[in-house]
Structure 1
Amino acid sequence: MSETKRQKQKALTRKHLTEIAIKQFGENGIIATRTSDISKAANVSHGTLFAHFSTQEELLIAVIEEFGTRITQRLHELVDTNSSLYEVLEAHIKGLIEFEPFYTRLIIERRLLPASASNTYIIIQSNISFHIGKAAEKEIDKSVIRKIPIHLIFNTWISLVHYYLTNGDLFSSNGSILKQYGDELLHHYISLITL
């Protein structure tokens, strides 16, 4: 059954609202951003926003899910094609760059968010961990990287990335931290775990 023009427009509006919310949450903070800020920035009525998302929490979950889908889809494709751990981590960094302001706010504010939003974030991190772990297991088996527990492979990587993002003001006064330091972090991390 093909989509009607109305269904297509509804899907486009929902996508537009999600994109605007990602931007607004990144610029102003997740907790501080109001639904009225998002509807104004999206150039739609406040009622239109609520026609697509019944609550602000539902909107936030949709935004986190959109972020997670885009990141994990890339990693899944790489793991399926037997890409190296380096390539998987590089894709992770590139994906995070696309969402850097939002993701930085998400990791800083996560404990203040509703449980459902926090749980969505945890599921995404678990999915990312799974894909990084799969790539690492292959390289451990080939004796490319040291035999390190898989949870430490992910936790050490994500800790390094999160440290730079949450302390971005210490490293750069403006611009993307991951664009500026991503390659350096990746090379440093790989050197720590490579035989």
Structure 2
Amino acid sequence: MRDAMRKEAAKREIKQERAARTRVEIMEAAITLFARRGILATTMAELAKAIRMTPGALYWHFPTKEDLLLAAIEELHERFLHEFKELLEQQRRLTARHQFEAFIGRTQQFLRYHREYGIFFGMVAAESAYMNDRVAEAIREKLGMYVAVLENIIRYGQNKTKEFRTDVDANVTAHAVFGGFMGALLHQNLFRESVAYDPSLSTLQQLTADGITTRR
């Protein structure tokens, strides 16, 4: 009896692991398609075909496109946090400018190898703003967290280390910086045949950091 129960529990665990892997595979394919085509132009039927899955099986994992989008946003958020965990833990040992440059630099590095992640956020943010309140709110919540990190760094440089100008609003500046980098990513992707990724994003980083730094 106990052996049968253990075998049944093991089978359930294997099924759960397979289901979890399948969900991740679905989200990976969805992120790529949404980044390339946007929300409206991407259908669940096309997604099912792209991952060689029946529409019924896809709907079993994600009943609606909205459910899939929300899950993908959460998944990417967790990956982004994991990438920055070590940096955020040690950043207080750095000057404000070094914190600023480290955060932007790590973002640039992360998106260099996962460009579709940033484009996904940009595309979904643009489309959801007027068509899906739940998705728009989820995007605002996640992006708002990243903006808050930049805002805190800027305030630290203004109030503590005196490295940054005080004639700029920290919150507005953080939004402008993050929005600028998201826009730069989309722009560079459009001109990718003639504009290289690293020089383009590095130039924006330098201009931004110089622009908020106190002149001595």
Query: How does the TM-score come out when normalised to structure 1?
Result: 0.86
Measure the CA separation in 2 of the matches of 1:78 and 1:136.
Answer: 16
CA contact (8 A) 2:125 2:136 kept: no
The answer for the alignment partner of 1:181 in structure 2 is: 200
Q: Does 1:144 align with 2:159?
A: no
The answer for the alignment partner of 2:143 in structure 1 is: 125
CA contact (8 A) 1:60 1:117 kept: yes
Q: CA RMSD in A?
A: 2.5
Output one character per residue of 1:136-172: Cα deviation in whole Å (capped at 9) or x when no partner: 2333311222223220221220232244345457x71
Measure the CA separation in 1 of the matches of 2:123 and 2:85.
Answer: 25
Q: Does 1:31 align with 2:40?
A: yes
Q: Does 1:20 align with 2:29?
A: yes
Count of residue pairs brought into register by the alignment:
194
* Correspondences of 1:98-117 after superposition (within 5 Å): 98=114, 99-117=117-135
Instruction: Say which is worse superposed, 29-38 or 62-71, in terms of deviation.
Output: 62-71
The answer for the alignment partner of 2:110 in structure 1 is: 95
Unmatched tracts of structure 2, length 5 or more = 1-8
Q: Does 1:86 align with 2:101?
A: yes
Measure the CA separation in 2 of the matches of 1:64 and 1:133.
Answer: 22
The answer for the alignment partner of 2:3 in structure 1 is: none
Specify the code of the residue in structure 1 equivalent to 2:102.
E
The answer for the alignment partner of 1:153 in structure 2 is: 173
Measure the CA separation in 2 of the matches of 1:15 and 1:173.
Answer: 28
Measure the CA separation in 1 of the matches of 2:106 and 2:84.
Answer: 7
Instruction: Say which is worse superposed, 158-167 or 58-67, in terms of deviation.
Output: 158-167
The percentage of aligned residue pairs carrying the same residue is 19
Q: 1:152 to 1:112 in 2, by over 3 A?
A: closer
Q: 1:175 to 1:20 in 2, by over 3 A?
A: farther
Measure the CA separation in 2 of the matches of 1:6 and 1:193.
Answer: 53
Q: 1:76 to 1:127 in 2, by over 3 A?
A: farther
Measure the CA separation in 1 of the matches of 2:151 and 2:21.
Answer: 35
CA contact (8 A) 1:76 1:131 kept: no
CA contact (8 A) 2:35 2:123 kept: yes
Output one character per residue of 1:8-60: Cα deviation in whole Å (capped at 9) or x when no partner: 00000000000000011112212110011111111111111111111111001
SS of alignment partner, residue 81 of structure 1: helix
Unmatched tracts of structure 1, length 5 or more = none
Q: 1:65 to 1:176 in 2, by over 3 A?
A: farther
Q: Does 1:40 align with 2:49?
A: yes
Instruction: Say which is worse superposed, 53-62 or 137-146, in terms of deviation.
Output: 137-146
Q: 1:108 to 1:44 in 2, by over 3 A?
A: same
